Amino acid sequence: MDSVQWLRCGTLIDGSGEPPCTDVAVGIRDGRISAVIPWDNVPEAERNAATDLSGSTVTPGFIDAHVHLLFTCDVDHEATRARFESSSTAELSIVGSRNAQEALLGGVTTVRDCGDTRYVVRGLRDAVRAGTLVGPRILTAGAPLTTTGGHLHWCGNAADSPEEIRKAVRTICTEDVDLVKIMSSGGAMTRGSNVLLPQFEVDELRIAVTEAHRFGRPVASHSLNAESIRRSVAAGVDTLEHCYWRDETGRYGDTADLIALLAPTSTSVVVTMAGIARALLPDREPGSPIEQQAAKAASPTGALATDYRWAREVWEAGITLVLASDAGVRFTPFRRFDETLRCGIEGFQVTPAQAVAMATRNAAKALGIDGEVGLVASGYIADLVVLDGTDASERLGEVRSVYRDGRLIVADSRLIVPELIDPARP
């Protein structure tokens, strides 16, 4: 058993949502957190070998619960789709590998991918697990289940009848995906699909959920309108992605009705703060005119705090709210997860520690990996992010270093690529 590696943290945000602590020691042994104690309690003999982070803030590794590793962050959806559809499997693997490493540089140590094709992301997941690719822990949904001509049908997993749905879910589960993603509504990235109308009947969604759960896989439902949300909750999905409570005319409904629907269930809500939300940050450098125009067009009120008041109300009602990025879609690079966290602070009107909890503890719970990651606590995997500065009362500093499984993997904003070990070498 290895000796304890101590990190002296100037400020610690532990992922629970509670206020930060100061001058805390985090012990790491065999890739897991062995202790979280006041620095003064560290034995004198072990202090000299400690890593001094007394000028920094330490958080759990961020968990981005909604990303698209194979997308290219273009300036419009059609460009992203065209590049996706025209790319070979090898080209998609290169894009996915680069995006995975960009996420890691942004402090994200776990991602849940929601838009695979040809099982490319599954290959990336397995390469990270094997140690041949440096990247975050990856959960993959395979190609999302949709309808012919429906949202993301170009990923290659359309089904239009109960039997087709049943077979499609069985097929991707047999191919060792980590979850099932279903497009319960249309989406902006697929011209011709309708964001304001559902794509599946509730009985069809129930078939998908029943089959996925039989294989032990959770179900994430892309839901951009109220009726698709109602049907998804009735079917028993595990997470609602985006969760826009609006009718077929685009008018937003009373959040109290959404809360009443969700309160008796265990369904979590994943709010994605993508580039068009990041562009609304009041203290952010203005983006391109195209980005600013897109952000204004997509915003109901022109301000994050009013656009996302509904999400704060959902969170205050005790429903698990997860903060994610939708990285890979237009204007949403993987490395800037810090901007998504800032969107959560501004949009939900919460503290930095509360926003971090939504992207760590809450995300882990929603993804079914709580108890392993998401907190800086004894027994948890030692996924940690080191941020500039110690004042985390109002905002968070830039990402400087990242630990994954207890190993320093990003240092001074640079990726550390370990030497490949030949298992046959003595």
Task: Label the pairing between strands 108-113 and 414-415.
Answer: unpaired
Question: Does the pTM of the predicted model rise above 0.95?
Answer: yes
User: Is the domain covering 62-367 a CATH 3.20.20.140 domain?
Assistant: yes
Q: Measuring CA to CA, which residue among 158, 271, 264, 174 is closest to residue 217?
A: 174
pLDDT tens for 408-419 read: 999 999 999 988
Token duo for residue 60:
């759990």
Higher pLDDT, 423 or 363: 363
* pLDDT in the model for residue 2: 77
Residue showing tokens 């599954």? 122
pLDDT mean across residues, the chain: 97
pLDDT tens for 378-405 read: 999 999 999 999 999 999 999 999 999 9
Task: Label the pairing between strands 239-242 and 268-272.
Answer: parallel
- Boundaries of every domain in the chain: 5-60+374-415, 62-367
Contact present, 157 and 118 (Cβ < 8 Å): no
* pLDDT in the model for residue 424: 59
* pLDDT in the model for residue 91: 98
| pLDDT cut 70: percent of the chain above it | 98
Q: Measuring CA to CA, which residue among 95, 102, 24 is closest to residue 58?
A: 24
The answer to whether residue 425 scores a pLDDT higher than 70 is: no
* pLDDT in the model for residue 149: 97
pLDDT tens for 168-205 read: 999 999 999 999 999 999 999 999 999 999 999 999 99
The answer to whether residue 228 scores a pLDDT higher than 60 is: yes
The DSSP bridge partners found for residue 88 are none
∠ CA(80), CA(291), CA(252), 5° rounding? 90
- What is the arithmetic mean of pLDDT over 44-61? 97
Give the CA distances from residue 375 to residues 381, 388, 411, 421, in Å, rounded to whole numbers and listed in that order: 9, 20, 21, 30
Token duo for residue 176:
């060792």
Q: Which strand ranges, in their side-by-side order, compose the sheet holding 268-272?
A: 180-183, 219-223, 239-242, 268-272, 321-324
* pLDDT in the model for residue 114: 98
Report the C-alpha gap between 352 and 395 in whole angstroms: 6
User: Is the domain covering 5-60+374-415 a CATH 2.30.40.10 domain?
Assistant: yes
The answer to whether residue 426 scores a pLDDT higher than 80 is: no
Report the C-alpha gap between 177 and 422 in whole angstroms: 28
Polymer length in residues for the chain: 426
Phi, psi of 43 (to 5 degrees): -55, 140
- What is the arithmetic mean of pLDDT over 227-245? 98
* pLDDT in the model for residue 420: 78
Report the C-alpha gap between 284 and 264 in whole angstroms: 39
pLDDT tens for 310-319 read: 999 999 999 9
Contact present, 26 and 384 (Cβ < 8 Å): yes
Report the C-alpha gap between 366 and 136 in whole angstroms: 18
The answer to whether residue 423 scores a pLDDT higher than 80 is: no
**Which residues, at least 6 apart from 100, have a Cβ–Cβ distance to it below 8 Å?**
69, 111, 124, 128, 133, 135, 136, 138, 334
pLDDT tens for 138-164 read: 999 999 999 999 999 999 999 999 999
Residue showing tokens 């125009």? 293
Separation of first and last alpha carbons in the chain: 20
Report the C-alpha gap between 283 and 395 in whole angstroms: 11
| Distance of alpha carbon 10 from the chain centroid | 27
DSSP track, 359-388? TTHHHHHHHT-TTTSSS-STTSB--EEEEE
